[in-house]
Each structure stands twice: as C-alpha cells, then as structure tokens.
C-alpha cells in the first residue's frame, strides 16, 4: 500500500510541478496563442494530478484529501524529477523542457493504460488523449524554433544542451517504482528508454538541432533531493494553504 | 429527471445542456436521492466542478438531494455529443469535431477541412491548437476573415 501510494506520487508530482511552472506563464506567454496553449497544457496536467491525488488520498485514509497531498508536504516529500522544476528561462527553454517531458509522459501513459490497477489505467487512458496534444505542440515548436532563424536555432540548441542532463533521471527507478513494477501494477520505465532517446533524437534532427553527446547526468528529485528552484516553486504553490490553513475558494 | 438534467448547461458553451454534451453517464433515484455519474471532458476541465454544483442546485430546487460522482472510465469522447448538440454548437459559432483522421489532418497537416460556422467556407486555417478552452482549437476563416473555435475530436 505504501509502495502504491509512493508510486502514484512519483507520477503525479511530475504533473503538478510542471503544471505549476506552466501556470507561471499565464498572461506572460510570448504570444496570445502560445500563452493559451501553455496554460491549457498546465490545466490538463493539473487535472491529471487531481485524479492521482484523489486516489492517493483514498489509499491514505485518515481523512486526507487531495489538497493535503498537493499543499502540505515538505520539499523532501515531493517525488517529481528535476526536469519539470527547471525554470521558464525563455520560451525555447520552456518548449525544450516540455518536449523532453512529453515524449516520456506519453510513452509512460501508453504503458500505464494496461495496468491491472483500474484507477491508474483509467487516468492514463484519459491522459493519453491530452498528452498526445501536448507532444504535438511541443515537438512542433522544437522544429519551428530549431529550423527557424539563426537566433532561435541557437537558443533552442542551448536549451536542449542544458536540459539534456535531466533526461536520464526519467528512467531511474525508485524503490516504489521497482516494487510496483515487480507486482505488475507499475511500469518498468527502463523498457522504453531506448525508444525515448530514439524518438527525441529524430525530432531534434528534423529540427536541424544536434543531439547532445553529453554523458553527464544528474538526478535526485525522484528521491526528494531537489534543485534550488524547488523551494521557490513550493513557496508559491503552498502560500495560501500555509497562511490560511483549510481555506477554500 | 430528464427535465431537471437538461436544465443544466455547460458553463463554457451555454447552449449545450449536460445531456447534449454527453457527460452524464448515469442518473438513478434511490431512496429519494439522485445518484449521478459525471464524466469529465478533459481531466482539468474547470467546468466540471461547476456542472456538479449546478446539478445539485437544480435538483435541490425540486426538493431532491443529488450526489455527483466523477467517473473517468470509459473516457469521454467527442462522439458522445448528441447530433442536436452539434447543431446547437454550430449555430452558436463553434465548428463541430471532424472524424479522427480529418482532425489530425487539420491540426497537424494544415488541411482545409473545418467549415467556418459563419459562412460555411472550408477555406480556413488553424491559428492555435489550443483555443479558449482545452477542448477547442482556434481557427480563422480566409473567406469571411472571422476567427472561430473548432471543437476538437477527442477519442
Ligand atoms: Zn467564414
């Protein structure tokens, strides 16, 4: 049970933190269309997060609600990967982060829809439809920026080079993930690692970008050891519940 | 029951009732309580909370208590919108969803298949894959020059 609970959070926290990052862009997107697109993606991710947290809260019992899980944990208890907490440095960076996550996310959902756990399977089935749109959006923009002007190409390339070091963590298996994969409920993410890099590389090539060869990777987020950005994200995210406990909209 | 259900409309597309939209999967009365199963169109659709509250309110106005449960599976599909709903949607100015393959062609391959709800021309182009809400994409008609929403095919 505690493995399942932790497993759910491992998936859900990625969606929550990325949704929060994208939400920061509400009203600040580089154009009206991209602003709306990014915040719509944020909303989809938040919706998925809620479904996962409601399920996790039910498992936890003790009158816990989805809000407790979203707002009242300390930094070390969040299990999102480092990739999703990286800041919106510039539009190309936001797109790069989104693209590197979307390719992974869709592959994970496609596997998870076959989980014998009915709730996880239902969330994944619903999520696939949404995440496919996200991936279309982000990969289109990677190509547009990569194969755009000299400046957009350079910025897109720098973003990919910088974010590359966070990709390996997507395939790092935590204890909860290992245990759930063994039980046949969770997904062994290492099974689609090769497929992931292949697909990512194909899009990058089409975008006239160079696939980074850097073999230095960093990880920690999935085990609660986050980058310096995480504290600021949580300060924003938790502020209302911490200041006014149990407040409702 | 049907009358009360159809008095509740989608807050985003007010011409559509929840029945037109196909989000009510079940509504049964047991021991004086109405049990409703509601399927969200999109996971994060903020309209769902509003619809849930509106349903409870509509039933309380006829002296009944309603309990609303969100069900995710089977996932909602744009095929569940009734023909009447699709017509109302078009009259309201939102283009109806195309078939799955045509939807991919207009959203990904810039094919001109979406019909402008103002002048019926298919000389239209995609402005953004995401429109005013997650379920819609933004288009523009190249004949009458009006921008409009296209309800995406979701399967
Ligand atoms: Zn027109």
Smallest Cα distance from B149 to chain A, Å:
13
Q: What is the pLDDT of residues A32-60, one digit of tens each?
A: 889 999 999 999 999 999 999 999 999 98
> Would you say B151 and B95 are in contact if contact means Cβ atoms under 8 Å apart?
yes
Domain ranges of chain B: 2-79, 93-151
DSSP letter string, A194-225: HHHHHHHHHHHHHTT-PPP--------GGGT-
Question: Could you give the CA distance from residue B114 to residue B141 in angstroms, rounded to a whole number?
Answer: 9
CATH of domain B2-79: 3.30.300.130
β-pair type (B33-38, B65-70): parallel
Smallest Cα distance from A59 to chain B, Å:
17
- pLDDT-based confidence at B24, cuts 50/70/90? very high
Q: What is the pLDDT of residues B49-87, one digit of tens each?
A: 899 999 999 999 999 999 999 888 888 999 999 999 999
* Cβ–Cβ below 8 Å for A36 and B132: yes
Question: Could you give the CA distance from residue A187 to residue A179 in angstroms, rounded to a whole number?
Answer: 10
Name the DSSP letter for residue B149: E
Please compute the mean of the pLDDT values over residues A3-20 and round it to a whole number: 97
> Would you say A160 and A139 are in contact if contact means Cβ atoms under 8 Å apart?
no
Whether A231 has a pLDDT exceeding 90, the answer reads yes
Could you tell me how far CA B147 lies from the centroid of its own chain? 19
* Distances from the Cα of B21 to the Cα of A68, A119, A184, A230, B51, angstroms: 32, 24, 36, 40, 11
What tokens does B66 get? 């309603």
For residue B73, the model assigns a pLDDT of 81
Nearest to A109 by CA among A183, A12, A235: A12
ipTM: 0.73
CB contacts, 8 Å: A34 with chain B:
128
Q: Collapse the DSSP code of A16 into the 3-class scheme (helix H, G, I; strand E, B; otherwise coil) and give the result.
A: helix
Cβ neighbours around B28 below 10 Å, total: 10
Question: Could you give the CA distance from residue A113 to residue A121 in angstroms, rounded to a whole number?
Answer: 4
Whether A1 has a pLDDT exceeding 60, the answer reads no
For residue B44, the model assigns a pLDDT of 76
Nearest to A50 by CA among A72, A75, A19: A19
* Cβ–Cβ below 8 Å for A130 and B108: no
Topology (CATH level 3) of domain A2-243: Ferritin (1.20.1260)
Whether B42 has a pLDDT exceeding 90, the answer reads no
Question: Could you give the CA distance from residue A19 to residue A23 in angstroms, rounded to a whole number?
Answer: 6
For residue A165, the model assigns a pLDDT of 97
β-pair type (B124-128, B24-30): unpaired
CB contacts, 8 Å: A37 with chain B:
128-130
- Please name the residue of chain A whose CA is at the shortest distance from the CA of residue B44: A47
Q: What is the pLDDT of residues A54-67, one digit of tens each?
A: 999 999 888 888 99
β-pair type (B94-95, B124-128): unpaired
- Please name the residue of chain B whose CA is at the shortest distance from the CA of residue A54: B70
Sheet holding B33-38: strands in order across?
B24-30, B33-38, B65-70
Smallest Cα distance from A16 to chain B, Å:
12
B140 touches chain A (CB under 8 A): no
CB contacts, 8 Å: B45 with chain A:
43, 47
Q: Angle formed by the axes of helices A229-243 and A2-23, to 10°?
A: 100
């Amino acid at each position: 049970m505690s493995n399942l609970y932790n497993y759910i959070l491992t998936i859900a926290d990625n969606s929550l933190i990325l949704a929060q990052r994208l939400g920061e862009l509400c009203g600040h997107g580089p154009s009206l269309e991209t602003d709306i697109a990014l915040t719509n993606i944020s909303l989809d991710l938040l919706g998925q997060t809620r479904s996962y947290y409601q399920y996790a809260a039910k498992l936890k019992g003790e009158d816990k609600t989805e809000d407790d899980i979203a707002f009242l944990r300390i930094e070390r208890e969040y299990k999102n990967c480092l990739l999703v907490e990286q800041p919106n440095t510039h539009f190309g960076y936001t797109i790069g982060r989104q693209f590197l996550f979307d390719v992974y996310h869709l592959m994970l959902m496609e596997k998870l829809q076959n989980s014998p756990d009915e709730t996880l399977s239902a969330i994944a089935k619903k999520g696939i439809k949404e995440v496919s749109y996200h991936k279309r959006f982000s990969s289109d923009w990677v190509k547009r920026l990569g194969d755009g002007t000299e400046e957009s190409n350079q910025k897109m390339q720098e973003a990919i080079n910088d974010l590359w070091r966070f990709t390996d963590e997507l395939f790092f298996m935590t204890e909860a993930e290992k245990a759930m994969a063994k039980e046949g409920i969770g997904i062994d993410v290492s099974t689609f690692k090769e497929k992931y890099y292949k697909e990512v590389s194909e899009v990058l090539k089409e975008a006239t970008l160079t696939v980074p060869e850097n073999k230095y990777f960093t990880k920690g987020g999935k085990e609660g050891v986050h980058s310096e950005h995480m504290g600021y994200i949580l300060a924003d995210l938790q502020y209302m519940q911490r200041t006014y406990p149990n407040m409702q909209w | 029951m049907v009358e009360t259900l159809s008095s509740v409309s989608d807050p985003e597309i007010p011409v559509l009732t929840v029945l037109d939209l196909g989000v009510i999967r079940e509504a049964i009365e047991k021991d004086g309580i109405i049990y409703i199963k509601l399927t969200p169109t999109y996971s994060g659709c903020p309209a769902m909370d509003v619809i849930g509250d509106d349903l409870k309110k509509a039933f309380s106005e006829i002296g009944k208590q309603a309990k609303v449960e969100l069900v995710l599976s089977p996932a909602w599909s744009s095929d569940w919108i009734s023909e009447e709903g699709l017509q109302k949607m078009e009259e309201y100015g939102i283009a109806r969803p195309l078939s799955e393959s045509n939807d991919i062609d207009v959203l990904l391959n810039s094919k001109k298949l979406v019909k402008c709800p103002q002048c019926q021309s298919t000389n239209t182009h995609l402005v953004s894959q995401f429109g005013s809400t997650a379920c819609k994409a933004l288009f523009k008609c190249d004949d009458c020059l009006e921008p409009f929403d296209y309800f995406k095919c979701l399967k």
